[in-house]
A and B are shown apart, each in its own frame.
Chain A
Amino acid sequence: MAAKIISSDNLQTWINKLTATCEVYAPSQGKEVSLFKQVKEGDKPALNILTDIPPKGLIFKQVEKIFSYRKNEDGIEIKQAEIEPGRRVIFGIRPCDARSFTLTDKVFVHSDMPETHYAKRRQQTALITLACNDACRTCFCTSVGGSPAEKVGDVWMMDFGGRYLVEALTPVGEEIIRANDDLFSKSSPEDEAESLRIAERVASKMPVLEIASAKLLDELFTNEEFWVRLSEKCLSCGACTFLCPTCYCFDVRDQGSANSGDRYRGWDSCMFYQYNRAAGGHNPREQHWKRMRQRMLHKFSYFVTQYGNIDCVGCGRCIRSCPVSYDLRDFLATSAVAVAGVDMDFVGELPSEGQPRTCDIK
């Protein structure tokens, strides 16, 4: 299906019409934080922001009931919790957030042990991705394999100011556009050229950070001083992991008695002390710097080895939400130097900012 054009007014009409047939979630600016909220007919989403809270929780719910159990005369009856049927659309998701689902799908959908609840919600959900016309100071998607105009999701859009270039990327995307065909008009080759210009301009706003290879980072594991210094100011809370669109660690817990109750899957964080603590008391990651090491290496080394991608989309939410403003890009820059075996006396400044580095090793 060829790319199309939709005017801003028609876009609002499109959103309204979508709300009639499915649950539509779109960015919304609240008084305190911005997040993805369900859109009712007539609501105008805040399409010009990168939300504080990623849409991760719409598919990988923070608390998901797996099943309920009940004792009866025959034994124990287990009833798996059903996912409410129905189609959903996440409208105006950024390429980084859409890409985060692609990464988490590798674990929960396309692995040899797919997780049913995530997979079902994922299957019900269409992504209408909105390319970025600007990059924040904390964005670094181009350093981790993404781009501000990445064609990911079911439908891809770019804002030209007053009108949008729209392209279906999957059969589901085509179906969504075809259902509202009267709202769209033809695009021109000039539109295509303009989209490339915008993509190029936005991408060039972000410096491409050097990231050490998975193998070298794995070897950096044994340099304890590096990790101790790196995580000195980290408080070991769970803010970064919970607001990270690609973090997916979870805990399974029961709520109820021996006679009846439920089992839940809930978000957990590798940054918590209890995360790895075994029942007998043994805790391999008792010190918080070991947990920081695990988080960084999982995202930038182990996941690469296991699934072929860096488990980070460069959205920068960890940087913005960290209570001590820890900048993950510091880790990337200092580790790139550390693996090269360079004396860590002076690490240098972040390339584009001219801002002094906040963490020096040595």
Chain B
Amino acid sequence: MASIETINTTSVLVPATATILEVLDETPDVKTFRVQIDDEQARENFKQKPGQVAELSVFGAGESVISITSSPTQTDYLEFSIKRVGVVTDAIHTLTSGDKIGIRGPYGNGFPVENWKGKNLIIIGGGIGLAPVRSVLNYAIDNRSDYGHIALFYGARTPQDLVFKWEYGRWSQVKDAEVHLTVDCGDDTWKDNVGVVGAIVKQVNPSPENAIALTCGPPIMIKFVLQDLFGMNFTPEQIYTTLEGKMQCCVGLCGRCNIGSKYICKDGPVFSLAELNEIHGDF
């Protein structure tokens, strides 16, 4: 027989149950869910790092890997901002407070926030891509003295597609931080920047000195933002992103997220550009 010292009696594929406390409407197809794990011990054990993900179950529909958008400093609940794109996310969108879901996690490597202490953080988000990097943003804000200047650049196609509108006020008040919002197409009520988020980054021209840039958003946005950052002399080691490739089991077994010799669910989803440049894969 294979020498098996201890077999976990509980399969890694079995979720814990959690209750939806509150649902916030962000955009026509994005909702933020505030979720609390039912079992107290499991809740205690679930100590996520910024940038980690969780596997959410809607029983009967299936599982989906969603990034945890709340910072670990928010201990009352876990927040997930979910865009409606398929069977499972459709099903989640029909749920309201009091409903039960399943949760497994936290998984993934998370952002290396320890290494970033003392550095300036430049956070560039596009559309729903703000969700995973918001965990770092709020973590840095809640540990303010550990980090240098914080700059948030966030854009979406239209004002209706902007998420976390209810956070902008608070973020604007943060010490030694700046918030730049933009949309591709404005409307009558929009008073802020108009243009792609990369253009605003170039305009503001943050210094790469002692800085980390993290970006997440649609592939086309990331492509141009990277070009812009290189133009501003950021090195690949300074630039981080989180990959949203298809993940299934999230525990490095099912093979789906295998890219090169890495698994997005285990070795990622956070990668520096330097690391990504070493990987040959289908993204």
- Residue positions of A touching B, CB distance < 8 A: 66-67, 69, 71, 75-76, 78, 80, 101-102, 105, 107-111, 113-117, 119-120, 122-126, 154, 170, 172, 214, 218-219, 221-222, 248-254, 256-259, 261, 263, 265, 268, 270, 275-280, 282, 284-285, 290, 294, 298, 301-302, 305-306
Contact = CB atoms under 8 A, between A and B. Distances in A.
Which of B13, B102, B258: most chain A CB closer than 10 A? B13
A257 B61 CA distance: 8
Contacts of A122: 1-2, 4
Contacts of B100: 71, 75-76
A280 B127 CA distance: 14
A116 B12 contact: yes
B231 interface: no
Contacts of B281: 221, 284
7 contacts: A76-B100, A123-B2, A125-B1, A251-B248, A254-B59, A258-B61, A279-B88
A252 B184 CA distance: 38
A258 B280 contact: no
Does more than half of chain B's interface fall in helix, strand or loop, or is it mixed?
Answer: loop
Contacts of A263: 13, 59
B251 to A, nearest CB: 4
A69 B245 CA distance: 28
Does more than half of chain A's interface fall in helix, strand or loop, or is it mixed?
Answer: mixed
Nearest to B101: A76
Contacts of B260: 218, 221, 302
B150 to A, nearest CB: 30
B245 A284 contact: yes
Interface string B1-16: 1101001111111110
Interface residues of B, number: 49
A111 B251 CA distance: 10
B60 A261 contact: yes
Given A123-B2, A278-B245, A284-B283, A256 B254 contact: no
A66 B254 CA distance: 14
B172 to A, nearest CB: 31
A214 B255 CA distance: 18
B14 A123 contact: no
A279 B280 contact: no
Which of B58, B59, B256: most chain A CB closer than 10 A? B59
A229 to B, nearest CB: 18
B82 to A, nearest CB: 11
A219 B38 CA distance: 47
Contact of A268 (B14, B19, B254): B254
A227 to B, nearest CB: 11
B195 interface: no
B85 A78 contact: no
B59 A111 contact: no
B261 interface: yes
